Each structure stands twice: as structure tokens, then as C-alpha cells.
Amino acid sequence: MLVKNNIYPCHQIIDENQEFSDYLSTVIKQKWELSEAKLDYHVVSIFGSQSTGKSTLLNTLFETSFDVMDAAQGRSQTTRGIWMSCAKQAPIILMDIEGSDGAERGEDQDFERKAALFALTTSEVVIFNLYENQVNLYAGGNMSMLKTVIQVNLELFQNQKGAPQQKTLILIAIRDYSGQTPIEKLQKNLQDSFDTIWKELTKTTTTTITTTIHDFFDFMFIGLPHGIFFTEQFAKEADNLRQRFINQTNSDYVFQPEYHKQIPIDAYHKYVSDIWTQICMNKSLDLPTQQELLSGFRCDEISNDVLKRFEKRIDFLKTCTLEKDDIINDLGYRMRTFRDLAINEYQTKASCYLPEIYKEKEKNLLLKLNVRLRVFFDTQLKNLHIRAVKMFDYELKATVFNKSSSSYKYKEYDNTEKIIASRRETVEKYFLTYAQEIVLPDTNWSYQYEYSELKITLDMLSKNALLYDSERFNNSCIKKEEDLKKARHELLRAGFTGIAAVATFYGNAFVAVPAAYLAGRFSDQTP
């Protein structure tokens, strides 16, 4: 939500008591509207002596609303602690740091050094604000503070354990520049001062001993005329400087890839608050380790959030498969869709963190998703087994066990083994079609055990059907033999003259033959 005149509000992230704000994350999302920025944002901080126009410069360049000094009230401290705001023209977070050398803090330089170190370790670009007449001054030009800050910052790189070096751009804004001394001359003087600071630093590793300050910092210099006495010139130079921050085609564009801290915006609050905590506890900062911890923490948070939404999506599957023992026709498609959606959500939010950690957490998430889906796979297989057995049993009853029914469409002489084999092939194909459809890629799932169990059950049913058919055939043969005996006795009783009538009466149970043959066939048998 923007305030009037479309200027983003300021927020104090560290107060004068060195307490870090609990609301920075909320401000980033709701006030500065950066929740979707991911890595597409930049951080610029400014520090220097008190009352050198730091806040005024930020307001001029980025249309922010930092408090500025009222000269009529005397030269006093305006910015207390560290304040942040967002640029109007681009996703740039601005950090306005309490000025050094203030009478309010006197000899206590503890906060000044902590704040400067905080800016140096969390910003891509640090604007070092100083007057032209301070260029050759050691104390007045804050060179002593810079030396302390760079010394501590050097310890960060010494602790990186082979990690790629992160550089920071230090932009020297020479205020109230008169033009009498060429900017190149002032630049050389300042660069010599930085080189001197570097030589005086304590270096404890081979890497830092053999490197120069330029391996860790880039420098850019600009002169800005007096803002009151030379208003038009100041406005022109300020506009030129603004283009270096917002125009990517500018030859002096400041936001180069090697300066970015690679901290996604949704983790920025935690990252900078942890950095501040370590600074206040005088711990040696290890930025790569800090990024690893942050990446692991955020990737776990994102993964857990994705899992919660995933659980809600698959709730209805539990009702269908677990509670109703039903078969879901497109279960495999639904499981793949829900799983892919969860993985895509994770990738979208977590891919901006350290690749090795992001990938490892993605593997863990995939395993968790598969575990949750496996229950549907197993249940569907069980239900398929039951359904296939019922189908086969029904087919057997409708064919083999029901041959005598008037509705049976097969002939008496149909081959029972072929009927059973045909019905079994249909049932097994049904099971395999559905079983294969629910096997997800990137799993070791298999339906072979359930398929083997199904075949054992079908074998048993098939054998029972064949046995039943065989017994029925035997019974049929016995009955026919009994019918023939009965017919013979009837013929003998009725005499040979009643052959035709008896044959007609028994139908297919008896085939009439010539009387002469019957007389010869049965003459020796007792009625």
C-alpha cells in the first residue's frame, strides 16, 4: 500500500538501541510491494559523516522520504539507527545509516562500526558520502572507520573456505564538489588512501596476502555540486547518477551480477537480522555458511508449505479409495498432476536459493510426496485385485457354471478351457491396464506381487471351474447310461412292436434300430 504522492514509506530496521525490527518482512510485502521480486531487487546503502546530506541525496535520487536535517535548527543528528525505504522507480531497497562523528554518541564508535559493517556485508552498492575538503583527511574523511570495517570484512573472506568471492561496489560521492580540483586527482588521492588501508590490514591467509583490495571491492567516483548554491548543476549531476541505478543500458550501470548477494526477497529479513545478530555478538561472520543455513531454512519452509497444500488437494482421493474401496479410473494421472504441481510450486519459490541445497531439498520433497501417494497406489492395487476376482467369478458363473441356463449363448460342445482362458485374459488385461497407469515415474513402485497373487487366485478359480465342468460331464454321462438302461427295459416289456413309440417317447436318450438287430442284441438277456 503506497502513501500519498506514490512514495513508499520508510521503516526503521535497527533503532538507536541496536534492536532489530520484527516487521521488516511485513513492510517488504505489504508496504513496498516486493513479495514477488525473488532475486530481482537490489540493495543500496549510504554512510558517512553526520550532516553530509546522505538522506537528502537518497531522496533526490530515488524519490524516498527519509528525514532530512533542518539547517535552521542547527546541525544535529537526523537519522538514528538504520532506516530503509524502497525506490519509486525500481525494486531498489535503500538503507540510510546513522551518520558517524555525531556529538550524540561522542567517543562511542561501536554502533558506527557495526552499522558500517552491516551495510558493507548486506548491500550491493555502498555510497560513501564525504565532502570534497575531507578527501585528504584521515579522521574527518572516516578513513579510520573504513579501515576497521574493511578489516572485519576481510575476515569474512578469510572464512569462506574456497567459496566464490563476493564483491561490493563502493561509490564515492564527493559532495560540494567545486570543480577546481579535477575529479581524476581526487579519485587518485582516495584510491591511494584505500590502498594504504589495505596494506595496513592484518592478513592471515595466503589468499588475502596475495590479493589486493580490488579483488574484493570495486570503486566508482562522482562529484556532486553544492545543492543550494548550484541547484541546476546539482540536479543535472544527480540525474546522471540516478541513471546509473535505473538504466541498465548506462555504461556506468552499478548493479552488476557479481555484487548481488543472491538472497531471495522472502528471506531477506531473516538474512539481514541474522547478520546483525552476529555483528552485535562480535562473531566472525561467515557469509557462505550464513547463506547455506538460510537456504536450508527457507527451502524447508517452502517444502512444508507445499506439502500442506498438497495434502488438501489429495483429500478427496482418500474418500474415494480408502473409504469406499472404489477404483479411480484416472488415479495415475491425478497423482502425477498433483505431484508435478507441488514440485513446480517448490521450484518456483526455492530455485533462487543455493543450487546444491535447493536440489537436495527438492529430492527430499519428492520422497515425501511419493510416500503420501504410495498409500493410494497400494489401495488401488488391492481394490483392483478384488474387482478382477469378482469379474472373473461372474464370467465363470455366466458361462461355465451356467451352461444349462436358457440364457447361455454358447453351445453344448463349447470348449470349457477356451472359455476360461478367454475370460481370464480379459480380466488380467483389465488389472494390468489400471496397475500400469498408477505407477509413477521417479519411484520404485511395482505391481508384480499383487499381480502374482491375482494369478494364484485366478488359477484356483479356473481349476474349480474345470473340475465343476468335468464332474457335470461325468454326471451327464452317468445319467445318459441310466436312461439307456431304462429305455432297454421298456422296449423289452413293450415288445418289438412298440419300438417306434418308445423311441419317440425317449427322444434323444434312445436311437431306434431295426427290430432284427434288437432281437439278436437282447435275446440272451433277462428282462
Supply the CATH number for residue 278's domain: 3.40.50.300
What is the Cα–Cα distance from 435 to 449, expressed in whole angstroms?
11
User: Tell me, what's the pLDDT at 62?
Assistant: 94
Q: Who has greater pLDDT, 388 or 227?
A: 388
Confidence class for position 268, pLDDT limits 50, 70, 90: very high
Confidence grade of residue 80 (pLDDT, cut at 50, 70, 90): confident
Give the lowest-confidence range in 9-13, 164-168, 239-243, 453-457: 164-168
Mean pLDDT of 411-430: 80
Distance (Å, whole) CA 181 – CA 186: 7
**Residue 338 pLDDT:** 94
pLDDT at 470: 63
Same-domain pairing of 231 and 315: no
Lowest mean pLDDT among 110-124, 306-320, 412-426: 412-426
156 domain-assigned: yes
Contact residues for 187 (Cβ-Cβ < 8 A; gap 6+): 172, 221
Does 65 have pLDDT greater than 80? Answer: yes
pLDDT of residue 2: 40
Contacts of 302 (CB under 8 A, 6+ apart): 346, 349, 350
Residue 374 lies in a domain: yes
Are residues 262 and 303 located together in one domain of the fold? no
Domain membership of residue 466 (yes or no) is no
Query: What integer is the mean pLDDT of 388-414?
Result: 67
Q: What percent of the chain has pLDDT over 90?
A: 36
- Note the pLDDT of residue 485: 67
Domain that holds residue 190: 4-283
Q: Would you state the pLDDT for residue 418?
A: 85
Would residue 142 be called left, alpha or beta, if left means φ above 0 and alpha means ψ between -120 and 50 degrees?
Answer: left
pLDDT tens-digit readout, 138-174: 555 566 667 766 766 666 555 555 455 678 999 999 9
- Is pLDDT above 60 for 518? no
Question: Quick one: 260 and 333 in the same domain?
Answer: no
Number of structural domains (the chain) is 2
Q: Of the residues 283, 302, 317, which one is the last residue of a structural domain?
A: 283
**Which of 389, 408, 437 is the endpoint of a domain?**
437
pLDDT at position 44 over 90: yes
Q: Output the pLDDT for position 481.
A: 64
- Three-class DSSP category at 128: strand
- pLDDT value at residue 204: 62
Task: Please give the pLDDT value at position 74.
Answer: 43
* In-domain check, residue 306: yes
Residue 199 shares a structural domain with residue 332: no
pLDDT band at 510 (very low <50, low <70, confident <90, very high): very low
pLDDT of residue 52: 74
Confidence of residue 129 (pLDDT cuts 50, 70, 90): confident
- Considering the domain boundaries, does residue 526 fall inside one? no
Query: Which carries the bigger pLDDT value, residue 146 or residue 358?
Result: 358
The span from the CA of 58 to the CA of 44, in Å, is 10
Contact yes or no for 168/118 (Cβ under 8 A)? no
pLDDT > 90? residue 288: no
Q: Is the confidence at residue 286, as pLDDT, over 80?
A: no
- Give the pLDDT confidence score for residue 370 in this predicted structure: 95
| CB 132 within 8 Å of CB 186 | yes
| H helix or E strand, kind and range, residue 371 | helix 355-398
**147 found inside a domain:** yes
Check whether residue 323 and residue 381 sit in a common domain.
yes
> Same structural domain for residues 307 and 239?
no
How many percent of the chain have pLDDT more than 70? 72
The pLDDT tens digits for 220-264 are 999 999 888 889 999 999 999 999 999 999 999 999 999 998 899
Q: What is the pLDDT of residue 73?
A: 44
238, 130: one domain: yes
Does the pLDDT at position 96 exceed 70? yes
Query: What's the pLDDT score for residue 293?
Result: 80
Query: pTM to 2 decimals?
Result: 0.66
Among 68-77, 278-287, 345-354, 463-472, the least confident range: 68-77
Question: Are 265 and 347 part of one and the same domain?
Answer: no
3-state class of 125 per DSSP?
strand
Are 96 and 82 a contacting pair, CB within 8 Å? Answer: yes
Q: Is 516 within the bounds of a domain?
A: no
Residue 247, Cβ neighbours under 10 Å: how many? 13
Average pLDDT, whole number, for the chain? 79
What is the structure's pLDDT at 116?
80
How would residue 369 be classed by pLDDT, with cut points 50, 70 and 90?
Answer: very high
Q: Are residues 211 and 306 in the same domain?
A: no
The pLDDT confidence band at residue 98, using thresholds 50, 70 and 90, is confident
Q: Please state which of the ranges 196-210, 232-246, 329-343, 357-371 shows the lowest mean pLDDT.
A: 196-210
- The residue among 419, 437, 455 that closes a domain is 437
Of 212-216, 238-242, 250-254, 446-450, which range is least confident?
A: 212-216
**Average of pLDDT values for 343-364?**
91
| Same-domain status, 182 and 307 | no
**Mean pLDDT calculated for residue range 305-315:** 92
Q: Please name which of 171, 159, 279 lies closest in space to residue 208, comparing C-alpha atoms.
A: 159
188 part of a folded domain: yes
How much is the pLDDT for 63? 92
Radius of gyration for the chain, computed over Cα atoms and rounded to the nearest angstrom? 45
299 and 270 in a common domain = no
Element (H, E) at 111: helix 110-122
pLDDT in tens, 176-209: 998 888 888 989 888 888 888 888 776 666 656 6
The one-letter code for the residue type at 73 is: Q
Residues 384, 406 within the same domain: yes
Mean local confidence (pLDDT), 505-512: 46
